[in-house]
Amino acid sequence: MEKTLLWLIFFTLGWPLTDGSEMEQDFMWHLRKVPRVVSDRTFHLTSPTFEADAKMVLKKVCGIECQKELPAPSLSDLEDSLSYETVFENGTRTLTRVKVQGLVLEPTPNTTARGVSARRKRQVYGTDSRFSILDKRFLTNFPFNTAVKLSTGCSGVLVSPKHVLTAAHCVHDGKDYVKGSRKLRVGLLKMRNKGGGKRRRGSRRSRREANGDDQREGSKENLKETGKAARRRKNSAGGQRGAEGGPSFQWTRVKNTHIPKGWATGGRGAAALDYDYALLELKRAHKKKYMDLGISPALRRLPGGMIHFSGFDQDRADQLVYRFCSVSEESSDLLYQYCDAQPGSTGSGVYLRLKEPDKHWKRKIIAVYSGHQWVDVQGEQKDYNVAVRITPLKYAQLCLWIRGEDADCAYG
């Protein structure tokens, strides 16, 4: 048990368990000039029906070998995929076309591969290597405090005082927005008080806090509706009361949601796994420490080849679950790995801890955990747990969404 806890502490804090020679490798964040994604034109679209099931179904995923054979996308193809839909809290929707500036098209790099034994189970393979984070000293501190839960059942990660990064399929199935995403909420972990400090039952403020309602102080109808929504979330999550002093969620409404057009095809084509990411803007800013975005480095620059992420796996009843594992293979847009995971952890932010130029270690989000997929590898079907990498273009797009048109997103 002590050995297990020691490994958890080492990997959580990001200390490389390597010999002296490997410590000298180039495990650093390298600032690089990135293209600029700018808004061109915005169109109003018909309101979505919000009737899709919160489940990712892709008819066919282009495998690792397949990606090697694909021609590099043209600039117009990239601009089309990076154009994005925005759905607002009131159910309205827009499409924004974008232009990419300063892009140098490069050939798709060869993937790297390691010999990997076949797995016997889906998503959890062999010995379950996940850790439930139960100690409030960890739960309420960085980096674990950046993990959030979506009311649709997925996870996400705080990337600014008002923004959450998650998987696109957590709110959109590729054709329509999922049920429940019209009144989408984000749950931030907090610790319950141990005895005392009871709220007055009739207080409006108490009811707003209990329901996670950050809408305008309003009518009895509004309070009644949010009460129903809170009970639905409680039932779907298997209850959130827990032990006295244990964790609970503070729920906040989502103001709008951005999804790349490469995913939101609206039935005009197949949703591309490469674009399975979305950004949620919260109605109310939080005060927690968030995690910065970073461009996904090549596999050879990952300390020990390891990645880390935390989410709310559905088989562990609102516990925050942390895991780390080595990346098995990579393509230009995806990381293929065998991190143990279960439904509910999708949308988690995959992060690394590397050195900044000033020699300080810093964690950054470099991918979004998408989930389990079958892919073609040398003519055979293999299953992996897949994460969508933050490439320079995706970094520029996310930077536009977070900081706005006038932000300086030239380096990442």
* pLDDT value at residue 314: 84
pLDDT confidence band for 319 (50 / 70 / 90): confident
Structure token pair of residue 299: 């596999």
Q: What is the pTM of this model?
A: 0.79
Comparing 348 with 3, which gets the higher pLDDT?
348
Instruction: Assess whether pLDDT exceeds 60 at residue 250.
Output: yes
Average pLDDT over residues 232-245: 43
Comparing 373 with 266, which gets the higher pLDDT?
373
Residue with tokens 């293979």: 329
Average pLDDT over residues 268-286: 88
Average pLDDT of every residue of the chain:
76
pLDDT confidence band for 390 (50 / 70 / 90): very high
* pLDDT value at residue 135: 80
Q: What is the pLDDT of residues 138-193, one digit of tens each?
A: 888 899 999 999 999 999 999 999 999 999 999 999 889 998 888 999 999 887 66
Instruction: Assess whether pLDDT exceeds 60 at residue 46.
Output: yes
* pLDDT value at residue 207: 42
Task: State the angle between helix axes of 220-236 and 204-211 in degrees (0 to 180), rounded to the nearest 10.
Answer: 30
Question: CB–CB of 348/369 below 8 Å?
Answer: yes
pLDDT confidence band for 78 (50 / 70 / 90): very high
Closest to 400 measured CA to CA, from 202, 274, 260 = 260
Average pLDDT over residues 210-221: 40
Instruction: Assess whether pLDDT exceeds 80 at residue 320.
Output: yes
pLDDT confidence band for 72 (50 / 70 / 90): confident
305 vs 298: CA distance, rounded Å? 10
The CA distances from residue 262 to 50, 87, 274, 276, in Å, are: 19, 16, 8, 8
190 vs 188: CA distance, rounded Å? 6
Closest to 349 measured CA to CA, from 395, 300, 390 = 390
Buried/exposed code over 261-294 (b: 16+ C-beta within 10 A; e: otherwise): bbbbbbeeeebbbbbbbbbbbbbeebebebbebb
Q: Which residues pair with 324 in a beta bridge?
A: 308
Domains in the chain, CATH or no CATH each: 2-192+242-403 (2.40.10.10)
Residue with tokens 């958890």: 8
311 vs 351: CA distance, rounded Å? 12
Task: Tell me the CB-side half-sphere exposure of residue 126, using CA atoms within 13 A.
Answer: 6
Instruction: Assess whether pLDDT exceeds 60 at residue 233.
Output: no
DSSP-derived secondary structure letter, 177:
B
Of the chain, the percentage scoring pLDDT greater than 70 comes to 68
Instruction: Tell me how many degrees the CA angle 98-45-293 measures, rounded to the nearest 5.
Output: 40
